[in-house]
Each structure stands twice: as structure tokens, then as C-alpha cells.
Structure 1
Amino acid sequence: MGPLQIKDLLQETPESQSVTLKGWVRTKRESKNAIFIALNDGSTINNIQAVAQPGQFSPELLLTVTTGSCLKITGKLVESQGAGQTVEVQIEDIHVYGTADAELYPLQPKKHSLEFLREIAHLRPRTNTFGAILRIRHTLAFAVHKYFNDRGFFYLHTPIITASDAEGAGEMFRVTTLDLDKLPRTDEGAINFKEDFFGREANLTVSGQLEGELGAMALSKIYTFGPTFRAENSNTTRHLAEFWMIEPEMAFFELEDNMALAEDFVKTIIGYALENCKDDLNFLQNRLTEEEKSKPQNERSIPLLEKLSFVVDNAFEKLTYTEAIEILLQSKPHKEKKFQYPVGWGIDLSSEHERYLVEKHFKKPVILTNYPREIKSFYMKLDDDGKTVRAMDVLFPGIGEIIGGSQREDNYEKLLERVHEVGIDPETIWWYLETRKFGTAPHSGFGLGFERLVLFVTGMSNIRDVIPFPRYPKSAEF
């Protein structure tokens, strides 16, 4: 099963037992009386200290033990003589797996900017910050699967290559095997996709929702959790070209059921991280606090753990889009013209509007419902007033919208009418429309961008820092 991980070694009772540890050197410090090596294997944010005596090893060997070197150390686990940890290892033998040239290794024991670390994404997981983020990301992903499995959902693998555009935005990456230097043409001069691999245009998916609905119409409750892609030329701190989406779809769920599930889901997932990632979250909270010391008091964020507890411990406020617009129209920022974007019924709310509702007005997470049909997707169920749809958005502090969902339109005629309204060719989604002919049922679902959840839980400010190898315009290096 391999050596005991450092996370487990740090919990051991020291009885001078023989142990083997393997990992990468974070620091090496020499004094007259001892040589101290801090080793980390990624299992925890905490290093373990290994101690050797002067003269115990050759100078040539010790020269290869530098920051970034990979070692196997055997020795005795004893009570630590220093502050900060309860155990340490008295070294008996050192084996160097791989050295790191001290002059070339870019991760020296000092503060590095996040921008610099994005340029060395192959090495940044070795830093405390990114090690913490990746462990939290794993924990959240595990919690997602556990949550749905424990509640009778089935994990459905929806296609990554698709011929449909679920959102109708058109910002999709094309998948083709055609020779770009010798594109086949029709008599009209258009590209002849009938000669392509799939015999038609194909793209990378922006959502697994449409296929997810098909699964819900047979299995009742399903969820997808997979990579999605959007060719949006955006360089903001909130957008990626490749990201992961969590999308549950449930038969027999109406809007109220959908809202209840979304609230319980995010509370449970965040609560799981609070319980299982304490050391990493404490580190990230301290990091954030240090970063914000230079800001004026009124511009500082609430402490990370307090923000997470804020979501877990508060019942979400529920109101309609129309009610939210009235609140914004009566708000001080609107009256004093401090909002950057105008407020009025029919607008697509901006992040500043959403955050005002959450952080200033209600001081708790918010679920907005019943949006104007014109600003929402074609598949959302039309309300009786004919003007709004049974949509819902979950709004969080510091981030705005984190979940978007709706009750899906289950009436064939109404759905077909909306398809025509938004300019989608019904022939491209005939299979989706047909489910409304054969045993249609009320059903609902929502989508949660996984990276946005990780961004919120870690307190990071740029979404490029919560996925191991970010994809964004002009960047696919690693």
C-alpha cells in the first residue's frame, strides 16, 4: 500500500517507531546542532520536520537536498522538540529520488504572485495555496457524488460532442476531422459537413442538460457532472473556456421542489468542506486576511469561514424577479445613481444588482424566481401570465449568481412555439421535443458551475486559480 502519508504520520503517537516518508523538500535549514528538512507529500498542508545531525551525511548528499528535491527518508518518529507540531522524524537514511537545481527551480521559499504561478501551472500544485485549493476541489467533487447517491439520483454520462446548442448562444468549439486547407464545399459554396466524421456539424457541449432531461424521463432523478466548453472571448476573472458543470434533472419536481433541492445541495456540500478541509480553509482564510490588510476597512471581505457559515446557517430568501426589481428601484445606490448598470423590469440583472440584494438588503443568500421570458432560455416553463418563466437563480455573497435553473416546459405546443421564437431549427432537437409527446411530465433541474463553487469556498478571486490547468483566450499551454 506504499508508505504512510504525512497527513497520517502527523497524527501518530511518537514511540520511536521506524517510519518511512516520501515527499518534496519545502525547506532545508542548517545550524551548528542540527539539519532540519521540511517535507511535504501533498496529503496535507502541514509539513513534517525531519532532523539530521551535523556530519551524519556527506556534504555531497546534502548539496542535492534542496527546495523542490524529492526524497525518501527513513528514521524514528519522536516527539517534536520545536513548536508547531507534535512529532518529527530523526533521520537514519536519505535517498534522493530527484534533485532540483537551486538556481533554476522557480518555487523558492518566498511569496509568488498568482500571475507568475499561472505561468508555471505544472509546478504550482506544490505551493501551499494551490495544494489547499486542489484538496478542497477534490473534497467538493466527492461531496457532490455522495450527496446525489445518498438521495437516489443516478449519475448519467452525457455526451461531450454534440450537434445541439443547449443555451442557444452559439459560442461553441467546433469538432471536425476535415482538412482545413482543403475544405469540401457544396454547390452553393458552403462547407459540406456531410463529408465530416459525424456527417454533420458537431461541437463541444456547453451543457449536458438536454440529454439529462431524457434520462430524468426514464430514471426520475439523474445528475451529470462533466466538462463543458464555451468559446466566449472573455478575459474576466469569472470565465473559463473549459469548465465543469453539475446538472441534476428531476421528473415530477416543480419550481418549489427545485429551489428546495438547490438550497439543501449547496448547504450540504459547503458544510462537508467545512468539516473535512479545516486546515486548508484556515490557511486560505489567513492568506486572504493578509492580502486585505492593505485595503480600507470598508472594502475588506468578511472572513472566509464566516462567509461559508453565512451560507450554511441561513435560510435562503426567496422572492420573484419583479419584487427584486422593486427593491432595487427603491435602493439608495439606484437613487444616488451609484449602480453602473440601469435598473428596470426586463433587464438581465448584473452582478452588482445581485450582490446588493444578497449583501446589503437581505444579508443572506437569495433565490430569485419568475424572470421575464425574453431574457431566459427557450426550455423554461412559461408562467400563466405569458410574460415570465418558472426560472430560478441562486445568488451568493461576493459572487452573485452561482446556480441557474428552472422548471422545464413540458407542453409540446408551447415548447415548439418557443423554439421557433428563438430561431432554433426543430429538426436539430427533434428527440428533445419528442419527449413531450410520449409520457410528458412536470420536471425541473439546475446547473452549478463547479469552478464557481470552488471559487466561493476557497475565497480566491480569479477562476483561473481553482482549476489545475485553465483554458481561456490565447491560453492552452499545459
Structure 2
Amino acid sequence: MEPPPPPEEQMSAVTLTSDGPPPASAPRRTLIRSIVARPDGGLGLVGSKVTIGGMMKTGREQGKGSFAFLELNDGSYLDSLQVIVDSSVADPSILNPSGNPSLKAKISAVTRIRDELPFATHTFFRENRLRYVHTPIITTSDCEGAGEMFQVTTLFSDAEKLERELKENPPPSEDEIEAAKMLVKDKADIGASVSLLTSAKENLARLEERFKLKAGIAQKDGKIDYSHDFFGRQAFLTVSGQLQVETYACALGNVYTFGPTFRAEHSHTSRHLAEFWMIEPEIAFADLQVGELIGGTQREERYDVLVQRIQEAGLPLEPYEWYLDLRRYGTLKHSGFGLGFA
């Protein structure tokens, strides 16, 4: 069985004078890219009948309004296709430029660039023999230490559950407690008083438990109990995959990670984002013999120096034990950098 002819030949077989329907194998809609991006600019399709769909970018009337030139774009290519439309096709609609601003052009351009850049990034690293690895999005360690981190917790869910229970069974009011005390004094109904006070005590215990569980609300000792949380400890959205990607570099050599990162920084400028993607390569056996150079650094491989710096920063050692193991049980010099990718 012979393969079907190219779409261009299929389209050229359907002329403007053809009365019958197009062949079943012909595409229902032709992408503008397949016309505009042709080496001949589409001249080879003269006399052909094609069906296109697109959004009108610009338009201008000619011939005293008898026809118009329209620039159509379907998102498949940067350039648009100019078509001639007779005024009998449709009545012109009125668009108020000041009342109906359109950002389609800017959004589509940014989207195309955003689509091409990740592919080019992966292609570059693949050609240079770097392996693509995935690092955790939820982590218990602070890689940067320079900004606030978004916290991941389920404690709010537990607190809301207890709050609903308290609404259904609210604690007694001060008047009810005073009335219970009077009942005890009068010894008129000791059983009812004991029951009321017991209920008040239980509700008070639930209220205290709610504040213990609610994240961000400290207990009496000033600390938050995360043992009830999903991970049993504090957890955050990652600010960088550097620490984790170093473990891969010590095993696989040259690697890189490319994924989302989060920064809870109140910097409302065009250069600061709460969520963005980061490209972070890590090269094994790379000895730059410098500290930091334009964001690229040689990692500290000395175990005692790392422990000292963690303690000086007032950080607990436990969340970083896995990172210290890379130095404790043998290590190698490696370097890397991070490049923000919005």
C-alpha cells in the first residue's frame, strides 16, 4: 500500500473550481504554519482550496468597504496569513480599542518563547552529556536560608475539624458556670452541676488542643508541635533543588535539575516571583578554586566546616544529616549554579 501524498499535494488537488467535497484523506483544517513557512511562501498553493482557522490580528478595508485585508493567526507560527474577505461574507463588528484592549499578541508571543526555551534547555544539556534528574518539591530542609519559605501543613485541617466540633458543642458561658457554682453551693442538684462542669472541662481541653494543632500558633513553651503534622515535622515548598542534586552529581557525574521553586518574599516587582522554574546544573570533579562567581559556586566538601556553619546559623543538624553523609562517607569536589527561569 502506497503512503498518502503530502498535505500540499492533497490540497493542490482541490481547486477553486471543484464542485465536489474534498478527499476524505485531506485535513479538515490546514495550519497557517504549513502555508506561510513553505520555502516559496505559499506560492505553490495558488489555485488550491484550503480551510484555515485563526484569530484576526489586524484588518483594513479597501475598495470603499467592498472587501478587506485580514491578518489571521492560529498560533502555529509567529507570522500571520493575509487573506482577502468580501464584504458580503459578514457584517463588520465594532471594536472599541480603549474599552476592549487585547493582550493576545503579547501572551501568544510569551507562550511561544516559553514553549521553545525548555526544549532548547533540555537539548543543550543532553548534547553536553548531563543527565536530567528530579528533585523533591516538598522538603524539610532550607537550601537558601535567605528568604521566607512556603510551609506545607495539614494542621489547619485538624484545627478546622476541632473548630466545627466546638461550634456544635460550644463551651459553657460564664453565666452557666456561675449558675453551676450556685447549684453546688445550694446542693440542690449536685449531679447536674458535676455533669455541667465535666462538659465544660472537656470543651476547654478541646479548645486547648485546637490551639496546639493550629499551625503558626505557639504552645505555652513558645514552640509549635509538628508531631501531629502529616510528615511529623516542618515541611516546606522547595526554594532550590541544589542540595538534592548534589547527591546525584556524586553518583552520576554531571547532572541538572529543572523544576518549580517557591519563594515567600514580599517583593512585588517584575524581578521577583513567588513561583518560578529553576535550572540547576551540577558538575562533578569541578574545582573552580573560587568561592562564588556570578551565582556559580564550588560546593563546600569539608565535613567539619559544614557542621560548624550549620551550628553558627542556629540550624538543627538532624534535617541535614543526609547531606552531611555525602561528606562523612567520602565525597568529591563539585560545582554548580542556579538560573531562574520564569
Aligned CA RMSD, in angstroms, stands at 2.5
Shift of residue 133 of structure 1?
A: 2.6
Q: Which one-letter code corresponds to 2:300 in the other structure?
A: E
Aligned match of 1:184: 212
Give yes or no for contact 1:171–1:231 (8 Å, CA) kept in 2: yes
Shift of residue 152 of structure 1?
A: 1.4
Shift of residue 170 of structure 1?
A: 4.3
Give yes or no for contact 1:184–1:195 (8 Å, CA) kept in 2: no
Give yes or no for contact 1:255–1:391 (8 Å, CA) kept in 2: no
Can you give the 5+ residue segments of structure 1 that lack an aligned partner in the other structure? 68-101, 109-123, 257-369, 371-389, 394-403, 452-478
Aligned match of 2:33: 7
Give yes or no for contact 1:183–1:191 (8 Å, CA) kept in 2: no
Select 2:115's aligned residue among 124, 138, 143.
138
Q: Which one-letter code corresponds to 2:49 in the other structure?
A: S
Aligned with 1:133: secondary structure?
helix
Q: Which one-letter code corresponds to 1:7 in the other structure?
A: R
Inter-partner Cα distance in structure 2 for 1:54 and 1:62? 7
Q: Structure 2 matches for 1:212-227, cutoff 5 A?
A: 212-227=245-260
Aligned match of 2:312: 421
Select 1:169's aligned residue among 146, 153, 157.
146
Select 1:408's aligned residue among 280, 285, 299.
299
Structure with more of its chain in strand, by fraction: 1
Give yes or no for contact 2:28–2:51 (8 Å, CA) kept in 1: no
Q: Which has the larger radius of gyration?
A: 2
Inter-partner Cα distance in structure 2 for 1:30 and 1:430? 71
Shift of residue 190 of structure 1?
A: 3.0
Inter-partner Cα distance in structure 1 for 2:321 and 2:28? 53
Alignment CA distance shift 1:105-1:194 (3 Å): farther
Alignment CA distance shift 1:221-1:26 (3 Å): same
Inter-partner Cα distance in structure 2 for 1:16 and 1:424? 74
Give yes or no for contact 2:59–2:68 (8 Å, CA) kept in 1: yes
Q: Which one-letter code corresponds to 2:293 in the other structure?
A: M
Inter-partner Cα distance in structure 1 for 2:131 and 2:305? 29
Inter-partner Cα distance in structure 2 for 1:183 and 1:206? 29
Shift of residue 2 of structure 1?
A: 7.0
Q: Structure 2 matches for 1:149-164, cutoff 5 A?
A: 149-164=126-141
Q: Which one-letter code corresponds to 2:54 in the other structure?
A: G
Shift of residue 419 of structure 1?
A: 1.6
Alignment CA distance shift 1:183-1:227 (3 Å): farther
Moved more, 203-212 or 173-182: 173-182
Shift of residue 18 of structure 1?
A: 2.0
Alignment CA distance shift 1:155-1:8 (3 Å): same
Shift of residue 105 of structure 1?
A: 7.4
Shift of residue 212 of structure 1?
A: 0.5
Aligned with 1:145: secondary structure?
helix
Inter-partner Cα distance in structure 1 for 2:245 and 2:296? 13
| TM-score with structure 1 setting the length | 0.49
Aligned with 2:60: secondary structure?
strand
Shift of residue 134 of structure 1?
A: 2.5
Inter-partner Cα distance in structure 2 for 1:442 and 1:433? 14
Q: Tell me the percent identity.
A: 45
Alignment CA distance shift 1:215-1:52 (3 Å): same
Give yes or no for contact 1:157–1:224 (8 Å, CA) kept in 2: yes
Can you give the 5+ residue segments of structure 2 that lack an aligned partner in the other structure? 1-26, 161-209, 214-218
